[in-house]
Structures are given as C-alpha cells and as structure tokens.
A = this chain, B = another copy of it.
Amino acid sequence: MDLKGYLAVKIRLIENALVKNLPKKDVPKTLFRGARYSIFSGGKRIRPVLVLASCEAAGGDCKKALNAASAIEFIHTYSLIHDDLPAMDDDDLRRGKPTLHKVIGVGNAILVGDALLTLAFQILADDKKLSPDKNTRLISELSRAAGISGMVGGQAVDIAAEGKDVNRKTVEYIHSRKTGALITASCRMGGITGGADKKALNALTLYGENIGLAFQITDDILNVTGDKSKTGKATGSDVRRRKATYPSAIGVEKSWKKAQDCVNAALKVVEVFGKKGIPLRMIAESILNRVS
C-alpha cells in the first residue's frame, strides 16, 4: 500500500459524503452555492482522511466514520471562510481562487460559515449508523475543539498578536488551538467511531497533537522559504503581516528540528496499532516531505 493509492480511495469516499451531507432542499440558493464553492475548492481533505485512518487504526469500519469526517471538514471550511473575511485576515485569494466573500459578499459569506458550523452538529446528531452515546461524544469532541477554548480561541489570540513581537509560548498557544485542536479532534473522533479503548484513544490524541504541530510548523517554514504551489499562499506573506509563526519566534533551523521531533513522536505512538496503523504512519512521514 502506498500513500497516494490510500488517499485516492479515501478521498473518493469523503467527496461523496460531503455532497450527500450538504442539503439542497429548502436552502436559499446563495447559501447552497456559497457552501458548495467553498467545500469543493480543492482542499486536501487532511482532517477527514485522519478521521477515517484513525477509525481503521482502532479496528473500525471507516464507512461508519464518513459523517464525522464530513462534520470536521465542514467546520474546517467554515473556519477558512470566516478567517478570510476583511475584518479577520482579509484574504482575497484561497487556493488560487477568489475567497467566498469576494464572490457572494461579506454578509452572505458570514452566513455560509454559520450554516456550515451548524450543519456539522446536525450531521452528527442525526447519524443513525452510530449510537446516541457515540454521537454525543463526537459532538462534545468537535464542539470543544472548534470552540471558545479551541479553534475560535486560537484565532482570537492570532488576530490580537498580528503586528506584535510574539514569543514561542504565544505561537504554541495559537497553533495548538487554531489548527492543532481540530487535527487532534479528527484523530479522536475517528477513534471513537472505530470503538477505540482508552489506551488507543490516548495514542491517537498524542499522534494528532504531534502531527498537528509538525504540519503547522512546516506550513510556516514553507511560507518563509517558498513554494507557493505547496502552501497556496504568497511566499513571505506571514512575515509581511507579522503573523505569529515558529520561524519568526525561534528561527527556521530550530523550527525544522521541532517538526522532525514531532513526526518521530507521532510514528512512535502509533506502533501500538501494528499494521492497522500504517496509513497513520505514512501520513505522518509525508509531512516532512512537503519541506525537504
């Protein structure tokens, strides 16, 4: 099994689930089109793939995790829409295409974000493939990761830090919440759907925390050292806007070392899953290949 083949299979399942989970009936056209535009704009589906791979690592059937995977991707999409708004990061482009508010206006873009955030919880609550007990656990995980002490909290601190000199502690705070929390939640939610016991769930949590951090650091490094095609953002844009990043806080070399350490830690913890953990291993290893 190679990573490319694995991803192709899983992403096909995910794309179908995303289409299925976005309602069309009784939905204002602008919202439906806006949601479609943002959901299907070439995202790499890292989070939903992690949900499926974690579910399988825990011994589950990944098809039962497709609603959790959709919910995570809808939350991720909403966060990008709101982050891109003029009052936030004020981005005109995402993945080379106009950001949603440039297409349908700021008011409608806010509403599409609100709608996707709400829809994520609806999908989980209405999932009849899983027990109500699992559904509430998944909603608890997702709401905590996405909410006021998670992703939204991280974005608030990120906005406040822009243009200021920040230390490593602040960068860690922002990264662990703004991107880390949702990536860790992807792994945990996959584990829950797959019936992970406490030990397995702990392993998935550590794995998620480590690859989340490694992913963010390599993203930061790519923004400094270049290759717009890999990041989708203009090289150097973080420096120009004085965003809080690892390279700006501790330098590129130390950042790179930190990313390697994280990936190694992630590879170590998934040994507990044996062969079933191979996809998680391959995903972790691929993070460093983006930079080197």
Q: Please give the residue numbers on chain A whose beta carbons come within 8 Å of chain B beta carbons, in ascending order.
A: 23, 25-28, 30-32, 35, 82, 85, 87-88, 105-108, 110-111, 113-115, 117-119, 121-122, 124-126, 131-133, 135-137, 139-140, 143-144, 146-149, 152-153, 155-157, 159-160
Which 8 pairs show the lowest CB-CB distances between chains A and B? A122-B143, A87-B106, A118-B147, A125-B139, A115-B148, A87-B107, A132-B132, A125-B140
A136–B140 CB distance below 8 A: no
In the assembled complex, the Cα of A32 lies from the Cα of B110 at a distance in Å of 21
Which of B82, B111, B143 interacts with A152 by CB under 8 Å?
A: B111
In the assembled complex, the Cα of A122 lies from the Cα of B125 at a distance in Å of 12
Query: Distance in Å from the Cβ of A287 to the closest Cβ of chain B?
Result: 27
A143–B155 CB distance below 8 A: no
Which chain B positions have C-beta within 8 A of A115?
A: 147-148, 152-153
A88–B117 CB distance below 8 A: no
Which chain B positions have C-beta within 8 A of A160?
A: 28, 30
B122–A28 CB distance below 8 A: no
By secondary structure, the A interface counts as helix
In the assembled complex, the Cα of A218 lies from the Cα of B274 at a distance in Å of 65
In the assembled complex, the Cα of A196 lies from the Cα of B112 at a distance in Å of 34
Which residue of B is nearest A139, CB measured? B125
Which residue of B is nearest A131, CB measured? B132
Which of B85, B108, B143, B155 interacts with A125 by CB under 8 Å?
A: B143
Query: Distance in Å from the Cβ of A33 to the closest Cβ of chain B?
Result: 11
B144–A136 CB distance below 8 A: no
Which chain B positions have C-beta within 8 A of A25?
A: 149
Which residue of B is nearest A108, CB measured? B156
Query: Distance in Å from the Cβ of A270 to the closest Cβ of chain B?
Result: 27
B118–A159 CB distance below 8 A: no
Which chain B positions have C-beta within 8 A of A131?
A: 132
A–B complex contacts, Cβ < 8 Å, 29 sampled: A27-B149, A27-B153, A28-B156, A31-B148, A35-B148, A82-B110, A85-B107, A85-B110, A87-B105, A87-B110, A107-B159, A108-B156, A111-B159, A115-B147, A115-B148, A115-B153, A118-B148, A118-B152, A119-B143, A119-B147, A121-B143, A122-B144, A124-B139, A125-B136, A125-B140, A126-B136, A132-B135, A132-B136, A139-B139
Which of B35, B87, B117, B156 interacts with A117 by CB under 8 Å?
A: B117
A118–B119 CB distance below 8 A: no
In the assembled complex, the Cα of A148 lies from the Cα of B26 at a distance in Å of 9
Which chain B positions have C-beta within 8 A of A157?
A: 28
Which residue of B is nearest A135, CB measured? B136
In the assembled complex, the Cα of A204 lies from the Cα of B85 at a distance in Å of 40
In the assembled complex, the Cα of A137 lies from the Cα of B127 at a distance in Å of 11
Query: Distance in Å from the Cβ of A251 to the closest Cβ of chain B?
Result: 27
